[in-house]
Chains A and B, each alone.
Chain A
Amino acid sequence: GNSVTQMEGPVTLSEEAFLTINCTYTATGYPSLFWYVQYPGEGLQLLLKATKADDKGSNKGFEATYRKETTSFHLEKGSVQVSDSAVYFCALSNAGGTSYGKLTFGQGTILTVHP
């Protein structure tokens, strides 16, 4: 079955530091990959996505590249801000078959950014 593994958290950084959150996956076929973010007191929001190998998703200064050869989708940001403090979830979904697009999530990584 499908699975997603994220780096253990929590992650604590100073403002303007470089961020990497590792994500690897196991899946059949050719899944689509997502990063979702949950800000304090808010619901899950899509941060970025990539639907095929070598695609790069980007949004709000965050980037992630779909690497089929290493089954990875690591999240990066060059300079984090206090407002980036949140929980980040890596997720995948399969098109077609009996998967119906349901998401399989990683365990989430708590990011705290200090001024």
Chain B
Amino acid sequence: GAGVSQSPSNKVTEKGKDVELRCDPISGHTALYWYRQSLGQGLEFLIYFQGNSAPDKSGLPSDRFSAERTGGSVSTLTIQRTQQEDSAVYLCASSPLPTGNQPQHFGDGTRLSIL
């Protein structure tokens, strides 16, 4: 069956540009999470969606970062006015329920490089 799909797999852009990263979770998974994996900071939580709402945005590092989820399915993470410190691998994960004991299924990530 289909897993979590992320696109693009790689993105190179110039500092100051906006980027959009897409995540298509496993069908039927109501919980969706975004994480960031970077050399200096390891794996960090960014934002959580339950359906279309985002009860927890506490990990977004600045107001340049935003995310939405439509139809309880696909999610888009947008970074405005990118900075070099935004370079990282952005991971999306989904799970059937946000109950803590449910394992999360991860996509392969989007590797973002800011020149």
Instruction: Name A residues whose Cβ lies closer than 8 Å to a Cβ of B.
Output: 31-32, 34, 36, 42-46, 49, 51, 89, 91, 93-96, 98-108
Contacts of B55 in A (CB 8 A): 98, 100
Establish whether residues A105 and B106, one from each chain, have CB atoms under 8 Å apart when the complex forms. Answer: no
Q: Name A102's contact: one of B45, B101, B108 (CB within 8 Å).
A: B45
Establish whether residues B106 and A43, one from each chain, have CB atoms under 8 Å apart when the complex forms. Answer: yes
Contacts of A91 in B (CB 8 A): 43
9 contacts between A and B (CB under 8 A): A49-B103, A89-B43, A98-B55, A100-B50, A101-B31, A101-B95, A101-B101, A102-B48, A105-B42
Instruction: Name B residues whose Cβ lies closer than 8 Å to a Cβ of A.
Output: 31, 33, 35, 42-45, 48, 50, 55-56, 59, 91, 93, 95, 97-109
Question: What 3 pairs between A and B have smallest CB-CB spacing?
Answer: A95-B100, A105-B43, A43-B108
State the CA gap A104–B56 with chains docked (Å). 14
State the CA gap A107–B50 with chains docked (Å). 27
Q: How far is the CB of B91 from chain A (nearest CB, A)?
A: 7
Which secondary structure dominates chain B's binding surface?
Answer: strand
Contacts of A43 in B (CB 8 A): 91, 106-109
Interface centre among B35, B50, B101, B106 (most CB of A within 10 A): B101
Among residues of B, the one whose C-beta sits closest to the C-beta of A6 is B42
Contacts of B42 in A (CB 8 A): 105-108
Interface centre among A42, A93, A106 (most CB of B within 10 A): A93
Contacts of A34 in B (CB 8 A): 103
Q: How far is the CB of A91 from chain B (nearest CB, A)?
A: 8
Contacts of A106 in B (CB 8 A): 42
State the CA gap A74–B35 with chains docked (Å). 24
Q: How far is the CB of B17 from chain A (nearest CB, A)?
A: 26
Establish whether residues A44 and B106, one from each chain, have CB atoms under 8 Å apart when the complex forms. Answer: yes
